[in-house]
Amino acid sequence: MVKPIKITETILRDAHQSLIATRMTTEQMLPIINKMDQVGYHSVECWGGATFDASLRFLKEDPWDRLRKFRDGFKNTKLQMLFRGQNILGYRPYADDVVEYFVQKSIANGIDIIRIFDCMNDLRNLQTAVNAANKEKGHAQVAMSYTLGDAYTLDYWKDLAKGIEDMGANSICIKDMAGLLLPYKAEELVKELKATVDIPIQLHTHYTSGVASMTYMKAVEAGVDVIDTAMSPFSMGTSQPATEVMVETFKNTPYDTGLDQKLLAEIADYFRPIRDEALDSGLLNPKNLGVNIKTLLYQVPGGMLSNLTSQLESQHASDKYYEVLEEVPKVRKDLGECPLVTPSSQIVGTQAVFNVVTGERYKMVTKETKEILEGKYGATAKPFNPEVQKKCIGDKQPITCRYADMIEDELPEFEKEVAAYKEQDEDVLSYALFPQVATEYFKYRDAQEKKVDVTEGNEEAYPV
């Protein structure tokens, strides 16, 4: 049965993460929330991913406070976040007690839908978060990190989808972080998944390779339930297709979203000056707005390309850019042909830089590369290159169980360490994920509060 297509709006999370390094402030977002709440989106993705780290590190904001303000403003719209499975919003696997507590607090502070993914597509790294979301009566959406390679056949995706449904997820997302999913492949994949599982299917892609709008069209025709889009000022390039364009595309068809273009235009008018300011300041690199066909050649996500560029600049080796691009797929193959998504994309990219800059492959090996080869990040779709594994970890016996099973409860220790700064329960979670960054933020917060205390009742005592 043909149904109207639903829209998840990404401008408050992935769109500005992809284009301006997650630098949009809560203050910039809040004035438009009332209008966004009237649109009738399936959901608004507004939290998780890199927003947590960026809020604390660069914006000196409490991410939990941002979420509560969103919840107050969005009276009619479901709020959605991105969650890295056992890695939560950090870059290493955490103990189950931390994962469970983070899910509990995310839902208590206002999140409705948690999109959970694992950089290896290892379902063992997703189960704790799914169970926790179900326990808290949240919507657990599990994302399949889409990638290409010999291992990633239609049967692979169908088996993965069945496993996701069986583990208790409420919906599935095809997470195409690099814009690799081509239109007719999307049609084929969605049809096969719809025939395999009964839960809804959502599609998330990026415009990096230039095909995303066409991919959405074929996926919608094939029966996908929801697509992720971004308001036009922060769409295209390394972000998502434009919300208004997709709404207009399906207007007066059986897939009509029913969304009001006049209201969307008012929202776009609000964000346009923020985009222009980012362009003028250099925060938004015009290169990120174009099409990069190398994405399809090297399967490197947009954010990873900019990381590689800056790493090479810091090593005074910018001339090695194309060598590194060619090395990335080789390293990926050595590491079990893993999908390239946080944190595996950073790990593979950094190792490729080292391999090229040192002039010898795996002469210099990062701690994280060793940990992948030790099995700490989970099972890969294909076996590791045995020679590379031997060179990097020697005779160390790789882990075959779920690594989190080997991690003792961590919350009690984090509670002790953060006690001096703690003002709310959630502070222990901010500290657990980013100890140094959170501590710096807590000190800043404390200083700001002292300023306020001094000025209270005597505005001239301490000019702020």
Q: Residue ranges per domain, the chain?
A: 6-281, 300-400, 411-455
The pLDDT of residue 314 is: 85
The pLDDT of residue 311 is: 84
Query: CATH homologous superfamily of domain 300-400?
Result: Conserved carboxylase domain (1.10.472.90)
Using the structure block, give the residue that is written with the tokens 């599609």: 203
For residue 382, report the phi and psi dihedrals to the nearest 5 degrees. -125, 160
Distance CA 433, CA 89 (A): 7
Q: What percent of the chain has pLDDT over 70?
A: 97
Residue 338, pLDDT above cutoff 60? yes
Summarised one tens digit per residue, pLDDT across range 101-150 is 999 999 999 999 999 999 999 999 999 999 999 999 999 999 999 999 99
Summarised one tens digit per residue, pLDDT across range 153-172 is 999 999 999 999 999 999 99
> Higher-confidence residue: 221 or 325?
221
The pLDDT of residue 451 is: 83
Fold identical between 6-281 and 300-400? no
Mean pLDDT of 437-442: 98
Distance CA 55, CA 47 (A): 10
Distance CA 54, CA 65 (A): 14
The pLDDT of residue 457 is: 46
Mean pLDDT of 344-356: 93
Using the structure block, give the residue that is written with the tokens 């947009």: 302
Q: Identify whether the C-beta of residue 17 lies closer than 8 Å to the C-beta of residue 234.
A: no
Q: Is the peptide bond prior to 435 cis by the omega test (within 30 degrees of 0)?
A: no
pLDDT band at residue 463 under the 50/70/90 scheme: very low
pLDDT band at residue 453 under the 50/70/90 scheme: low
Summarised one tens digit per residue, pLDDT across range 171-182 is 999 999 999 999
Which of 171, 144, 172 minimizes the C-alpha distance to 156?
Answer: 144
For residue 6, report the phi and psi dihedrals to the nearest 5 degrees. -100, 155
pLDDT band at residue 455 under the 50/70/90 scheme: low
The pLDDT of residue 459 is: 38
Distance CA 110, CA 184 (A): 37
Tokens encoding 76: 């009619």
Residue 367, pLDDT above cutoff 60? yes
Q: Is the dihedral of CA 56, 48, 103, 380 positive or negative?
A: negative
The pLDDT of residue 91 is: 86
Residue 301, pLDDT above cutoff 80? no
Summarised one tens digit per residue, pLDDT across range 241-290 is 999 999 999 999 999 999 999 999 999 999 999 999 999 999 998 888 88
Mean pLDDT of 26-32: 98
Mean pLDDT of 209-235: 97
Indicate the average pLDDT of the chain: 94
CATH 3.20.20.70 fits 6-281, yes or no: yes
Q: Identify whether the C-beta of residue 424 lies closer than 8 Å to the C-beta of residue 64.
A: yes
The pLDDT of residue 197 is: 98
Per-residue CA distances from 16 to 27, 150, 172, 231 (Å): 14, 33, 24, 10
Question: How close are the terminal C-alpha atoms of the chain, in Å?
Answer: 61
Residue 306, pLDDT above cutoff 80? no
Residue 454, pLDDT above cutoff 60? no
Summarised one tens digit per residue, pLDDT across range 38-93 is 999 999 999 999 999 999 999 999 999 999 999 999 999 999 999 999 999 998 89
Tokens encoding 168: 């208790």
Using the structure block, give the residue that is written with the tokens 């339930």: 225
- Which H, E and C letters describe the chain, residue by residue? CCCCCEEEECCCCHHHHHHHCCCCCHHHHHHHHHHHHCCCCCEEEEEECCHHHHHHHCCCCCHHHHHHHHHHHCCCCCEEEEECHHHCCCCCCCCHHHHHHHHHHHHHCCCCEEEECCCCCCHHHCHHHHHHHHHCCCEEEEEEECCCCCCCCHHHHHHHHHHHHHCCCCEEEEEECCCCCCHHHHHHHHHHHHHHCCCCEEEEECCCCCCHHHHHHHHHHCCCCEEEEECHHHCCCCCCCEHHHHHHHCCCCCCCCCCCHHHHHHHHHHHHHHHHHHHHHCCCCHHHHCCCCHHHHHCCCHHHHHHHHHHHHHCCCHHHHHHHHHHHHHHHHHCCCCCCCCCHHHHHHHHHHHHHHHCCCCCCCCHHHHHHHCCCCCCCCCCCCHHHHHHHHCCCCCCCCCHHHHCCCCHHHHHHHHCCCCCCCCHHHHHHHCHHHHHHHHHHHHHHHHHHHHHCCCCCCCCC
Which of 96, 117, 1 minimizes the C-alpha distance to 48?
Answer: 117
